[in-house]
Amino acid sequence: MNDIIIYSVISLSLIGIIAAIILHLVAQKFKVIEDPRIDEVEEILPAANCGGCGFPGCRNFSEALVKSAHDKKTIEGLNCPVGGNDVMAIAAELLGLAAEEKEPLIAVIRCSGSHANAPKKVHYDGPATCAFAHNLSSGESGCPYGCLGCGDCVAACDFDAIYMDKTTGLPVVKDNCVACGACVIACPRDIIELRNRGKKDRKIFVSCINEEKGGVARKNCRVACIGCSKCFNVCSFDAITMNNNLAYIDYEKCKLCRKCVVECPTHAIHELNFPARKEKKVEVEKTVESKKVADNAAEIKK
């Protein structure tokens, strides 16, 4: 009886030793040696885990940076929108590379269908999310392209950089926007776009994405783009394209001359952070000349 117990203990011990040796060999064979620079790069990043870089989190982004630096000897195409150029420059220096300068971006709302411009025609009674409303109706104003006003973009923003204006019913982007793109993804109507902040934060863009014909679009919103091509015709820099009854301004080509803004008959083109327009000299001269003619006529009558 004692011999059976002894043999059992010895057998189990041998099995345990053999299994441990096998597991050790397998672990050594398939072990992954992690580059210590991953931790160093991660410490530099802002730890926002917003996904604006295209990766699930800052850890994943730091791994991608180190891998790209090791395999391709460059980190071109990788960018942290929250940290910006300063953070990317530090990360690049740590990896022994140079970071490309990126123009800072900001989200813009490409819809002007406020309560005043696009009055309600129906009342939506359903789940208070844009995702649901988009699938169930064309919107309270009747515009199938306009903002639904339920605030999915606000809920998606982790930086308190966007809010719903109760007066207009439209979202408003604040200056602290980091261009993470969460609001862009959250909007089922695709009315939010990331664009260059521009010199002195100045921007010109078509605040409408309605692709319906002009007459139909104007029935639902008085400031809709009607596809008249007037802006396209006055642009000297090929920055404006016309497609599906809709004008679009390429922010990389636009020189901010503002000719298109004046030309737009529905005021669908917005200009932000520009100084007030000065009265044209020609118009002043015409006014002065008209006054002189009127004075001369009065003298003749006398």
Q: What's the pTM?
A: 0.78
Residues found in the chain: 302
Confidence of residue 181 (pLDDT cuts 50, 70, 90): very high
pLDDT at 28 over 90: no
Q: Domain locations in the chain?
A: 37-94, 105-272
CA separation, residue 125 to residues 33, 167, 257 (Å): 56, 20, 44
Chain position carrying tokens 């885990």: 49
Q: In sequence order, what DSSP letters do the residues of 125-153 get, joined into one string?
A: -S-SSHHHHHHH-S-TTS-SSS---S-HH
pLDDT at 146 over 80: yes
Per-residue model confidence (pLDDT) at position 280: 54
pLDDT tens profile 209-218: 999 999 999 9
Confidence of residue 301 (pLDDT cuts 50, 70, 90): very low
Give the Cβ contact number of residue 15 at 10 Å: 10
pLDDT at 172 over 60: yes
Q: What's the DSSP call for residue 201?
A: G
Confidence of residue 114 (pLDDT cuts 50, 70, 90): very high
CATH class given for the domain over 105-272: alpha beta
Pick the CATH number of 37-94 from 3.40.50, 1.10.15, 1.10.1220, 1.10.760: 1.10.15
**Average pLDDT value over all residues in the chain:** 89
Q: In this prediction, what percent of the chain has a pLDDT beyond 90?
A: 73
Chain position carrying tokens 């420059």: 89
Q: What region does 296 belong to: left with phi over 0, alpha with psi -120 to 50, or beta? A: alpha
Per-residue model confidence (pLDDT) at position 206: 97
CA separation, residue 221 to residues 142, 177, 207, 227 (Å): 9, 28, 12, 14
Per-residue model confidence (pLDDT) at position 218: 95
CA 163 – CA 131 distance, rounded (Å)? 17
Cβ atoms of residues 225 and 210 within 8 Å: yes
Q: What's the DSSP call for residue 164?
A: E
pLDDT at 1 over 90: no
pLDDT at 104 over 50: yes
For 95-107, what is the mean pLDDT?
A: 91
Cβ atoms of residues 217 and 265 within 8 Å: no
pLDDT at 281 over 80: no
